[in-house]
Structures are given as C-alpha cells and as structure tokens.
Amino acid sequence: MALVWGKGGGVTGKVTEYVLMPNGQLSERDAFTRELKDVKTLGQAETLQFFRQMTSLPASFHRPGNMYQYIKLEKEGAVQKEAVWGENRFTPPAEIEALYRQLQSLVL
C-alpha cells in the first residue's frame, strides 16, 4: 500500500509526485521512469495518521483542470481511492485540501 500525491499539468505537462510507504519511507517518483528517490523517513505515528486520514476521506473524484493536484491510495499498483482536482469551477472538500497541504509540507 502507498499514499501518493502530487501536482502536474500546464504547458509542459510536468508531474511532480511523492510516495509515502507504510514503513514511513517518503520518496519522489519520476513521472517517466517511475524510479523512486528517497527523500526522508517519517515516524510510525505520523505515517499511520496520514494513512488513516486518507482512508477516512470522502469518495473518490476526478475533476482536473489544466493544472491539477491529486492524492491517491494505491495497493499493489492499483488505485484504491483517488482525488484529483484543479477544475476552475470545482472546490474539493476542505479535508482533502488540508491533507494535501500537510503532505506537501513534508517535501517543501
């Protein structure tokens, strides 16, 4: 299982993606090669909290725009839950935006 988040789109279509594993290993994933580059390791309690937050979020939705953000839960390469947003006239649930900001703060 993995918690995956990132952002992408625009003129270049560049995607920046991060992967958090249940053991706390946080990596950046190359969008083209899919190779992982270690960023840091989180503590067990913090990691568990992020996974709990993701599993408790509302149902999946897919509302990308030219520029988009996403969070997804993957298990054995298959997407279990996914939230994608960026469409101008769509506002994602506050708890999804909050989780995304928390996750992004780990890599900024």
Domain ranges within the chain, ordered by starting residue = 2-105
Length of the chain (residues): 108
What's the pLDDT at 17?
A: 97
Q: What is the pLDDT along the chain (108 residues), one digit of tens a residue?
A: 999 999 999 999 999 999 999 999 999 999 889 999 999 999 999 999 999 999 998 878 999 999 999 999 999 989 999 999 999 999 999 999 999 999 999 998
Q: Is the pTM of this model over 0.75?
A: yes
What's the pLDDT at 85?
A: 97
What's the pLDDT at 59?
A: 76
CB 29 within 8 A of CB 2: no
Output the CA angle 4-41-57, nearest 5 degrees: 35
Terminal CA-to-CA distance of the chain, rounded, Å?
24
